[in-house]
Amino acid sequence: MSIVGVYRLFSGAPMHPIGADGRMALSDHLRELRGRIFKVALILTIGLIVALFFFDALYDLVYGPYQDAAEALPDGKETIATTSGPGGGLMLYLKLCGFAALIGGSPFWLYQIWAFVLPGLHKNERKWSRVFAGVAGPLFMVGIVMGYVTLPKGLEVLIGFNPDGVTNLVDFSEYLTFFTRTLLVFGIAFEIPVFVVLLNLAGVVKGKSLGTHRAWIIIGIFVFAAIATPSADPFTMTFMAIPMVVLFEISVVIAKVNDRRRDRTRPGAGLSPDEKSVL
């Protein structure tokens, strides 16, 4: 394959001209999707290779919550982390470094998701792509940190269910999966308000509707936190739900401000078929 062919494979540039109405052929949409997937895969591969050089530090970081939970267990309860199979150590390297690459590259792949949706928006709304890239990444990281802080308490509760005198043997690969799922759930949960704002910018959701159904949405947030958190303790659930409620309230304010701005510039824009326009 020539250099030009490789460039086209990764760029995802359309082969047909975009129409005056901004529409793109289906083949070009699929070509763009393929290009963005290749870009994400390349970044994640580079991130995995870089993470291999920092494996010891990453291992200490991941193993820390488990050690804290083990030390906090009452007398008579014991837990030991093990690896299984001759390839357990290799899989541990790959899984841990792959997770680090996923977290470190989150601003990039989150932007790629939004950039793929971008052509479907109006020109005056496309400027929010930079805002999305600047906010979504840090919010995802904040969610990861929150999950990491609450993880020892969740582990302590789960391991504490073992009867006295019974040693809990934890396969480290399974623990790493549990660790990864917990942190990703927290990270994704903190992205929900961002997508609420994006739906409002796209005209799908109105700030007034969000405010009207606030009570049910907050209940839904707590239900989501209770289901999503792997431990059964209310501490971890609350630690996820409270920041989500705060972020939701901020997204409602932003949505209402955007609705007022839209009504001033384009009266009647974003109204549902059942609502009457001021015109």
Give the pLDDT confidence of 149-207 residue by residue, as tens digits: 888 877 777 777 777 767 777 777 788 888 888 888 888 888 887 778 777 776 777 87
Domain boundaries, given as residue ranges, for the chain: 54-263
- CA 187/CA 144 separation, integer angstroms: 5
pLDDT at residue 120 in the model: 59
Contact 229, 181 (CB under 8 A): no
**Cβ contacts of residue 266 below 8 Å, gap of 6+?**
none
pLDDT of residue 122: 58
CA distance readout (Å), 148 to 47, 145, 256, 269, 270:
21, 5, 33, 43, 40
Q: What residues form DSSP beta bridges with 78?
A: 167
pTM, entire model: 0.65
pLDDT per position as a tens digit, 14-50: 555 555 555 656 666 677 788 888 888 898 899 899 9
Once rounded to an integer, what is the mean pLDDT over residues 225-240? 72
Q: Are 101 and 109 in contact (CB under 8 A)?
A: no
Q: Give the Cα separation of 236 and 179 in Å (integer).
A: 14
pLDDT of residue 137: 75
Burial category of 211 from C-beta neighbours within 10 Å (exposed 0-12, middle 13-18, buried 19 and up): middle
d(CA 269, CA 97): 47
pLDDT tens digits, 66-93: 888 778 777 666 677 777 666 677 888 8
Question: Is it the case that residue 13 has pLDDT exceeding 70?
Answer: no
